[in-house]
Amino acid sequence: MLIKQICILGGSGFVGSAIVAKLATAGYSVKVLTRRKDHAKNLLLLPQVQVLECNVLDKQALTSALAGVDAVINLLGILHQSRRTSFNDMHHALPAQLAGICKDLHIKRLVHMSSLRADKNAPSQYLRSKAAGEAALLAYSAELNITIFRPSIIFGRGDSFINLFASLVKVMPLVMLAKPNAKFQPIWVEDVASCFVACLNNRASYGQTYELAGPKVYRFRQLVQAVMDTLQIQRPIIGLTDGLSYAQAWMMELLPIQLMSRDNILSMQVDSVSEQTLPALLNITPSSLETIIPQYLLDETSRGAYDRFRRAAAR
């Protein structure tokens, strides 16, 4: 069956907005579910995009919202747990429920966002809950055509990671960097979005799990250095020991805005790098960080910074 109408959970977010824009450009009809319509106001003007308020954790509400679509993309994810929402709620229980609803509604196609190094024995709750979500989905492999993506960190206009360090080096005299030797293989958000669009109607991607990583591996310290080089600001980077990294994250958990948690530090115990090369069917040659980040770091507006802080504060 040719897929035309897609429902996307998490479509208002950083990655979701890029995917929705590409789907709309490719002529798909897209339904974006959000807790609050104003979270998705950047999408309202796109052609063939409908934004619908929905409590995705409510089975009945989610079932009504999904009725009639041909495919579902699930991007829901959190980096920090709150009293209201746990990693398990968002990364495990929700995908499990979503797959059950898709089966009941005969929606055969489901594309899901996990994370590189998700594993049931991973050191962080984030990675363990992502692995539990993958396993819950794969239990439906006989009934649903599922594709899972596992990216390393994702950069691009509006990201939280690169922009956070750009904001810090502008105001701080030095950078006290947790886990300075942790490894990442960052991938551009537009490349990630292209992969989602490329796989939707491609049967060869059914039942597959793809790791998504950019062309180069960086240590955390090198990433911060790349940000400073782009901004032409130089600050000393003081690498923290594991113990001090954990203590710093603990203190940051007390801030009103969530920047870093102890669980994030535990995630960095495993290198977020991939040994796979991207398969030809995804049809991308990943762009390098050095060519992309100047396009948005040197073009930052106060509005962009405001939107990121709003997201960090979960408002």
286 binds ligand NAP (CB under 6 A): no
Residues 156-185, mask of contacts with ligand NAP (x by CB under 6 A): -----x------------------------
Q: Per-residue x/- marks for ligand NAP, 79-118, CB under 6 A?
A: ------x---------------------------x-x---
Alpha helices of 42-160 — where are they, by DSSP H?
A: 59-66, 87, 94-104, 125-138
Question: Can you tell me which of 7, 13, 22, 264 binds ligand NAP, judged by CB under 6 A?
Answer: 13
Token look-up 């710093």 returns 248
Residue 72 interacts with ligand NAP (CB under 6 A): yes or no: no
Structure-block tokens of residue 189? 């958000």
Paired strand residues for 149: 113, 210
Is 196 a residue that touches ligand NAP (CB under 6 A)? no
Say whether residue 214 binds ligand NAP (CB under 6 A): no
Which has the closest alpha carbon to 260: 181, 165, 174, 188?
Answer: 165
Among 8, 65, 72, 76, binds ligand NAP (CB under 6 A): 76
Does 77 help bind ligand NAP (rule: CB under 6 A)? yes
Where does this chain touch ligand NAP (CB under 6 A) — which range of 6-14, 101-109, 136-144, 177-185?
6-14
258 CB contacts (<8 Å, ≥6 apart)?
A: 79, 80, 252, 312, 313, 314
Could you give phi then psi for residue 112, rounded to 5 degrees? Answer: -125, 140
Tell me the C-alpha to C-alpha distance, in Å, between residue 49 and each of 27, 46, 192, 250: 10, 6, 20, 41
By CB under 6 A, residue 261 contacts ligand NAP: no
Cβ distance to ligand NAP smaller for residue 11 or 180: 11
Q: Which residue has tokens 């959000």?
A: 34
- Number of amino acids touching ligand NAP (CB under 6 A): 23
Looking at residue 5, the DSSP 8-state letter turns out to be E
Of 20, 23, 28, 34, the one binding ligand NAP by CB under 6 A:
34
Strand ranges, E, within 49-194:
49-53, 71-74, 109-113, 145-151, 154-155, 175-177, 183-184, 187-188
Verify binding: residue 51, ligand NAP, rule CB under 6 A.
no
CB of 231 to ligand NAP, least distance (A): 20
33: tokens are 């579910």
Query: Do 221 and 237 contact (CB within 8 A), yes or no?
Result: yes
231 touching ligand NAP, by CB under 6 A: no
Q: What's the min distance (Å) between Cβ of 214 and ligand NAP?
A: 11
Q: What is the dihedral of CA 11, 14, 19, 21, to 10 degrees?
A: 90
> Nearest distance from residue 315's CB to ligand NAP, in Å?
9
Q: CB of 211: closest distance to ligand NAP in angstroms?
A: 11
Q: How far is the CB of 260 from ligand NAP (least distance, A)?
A: 14
- Contact between 40 and ligand NAP by CB under 6 A: the answer reads yes
To the nearest 10 degrees (0 to 180), the angle between helices 161-171 and 289-297 is 60
Residues interacting with ligand NAP, by CB under 6 A?
10, 12-16, 34-35, 39-40, 56, 75-78, 85, 113, 115, 151, 153-154, 161, 311
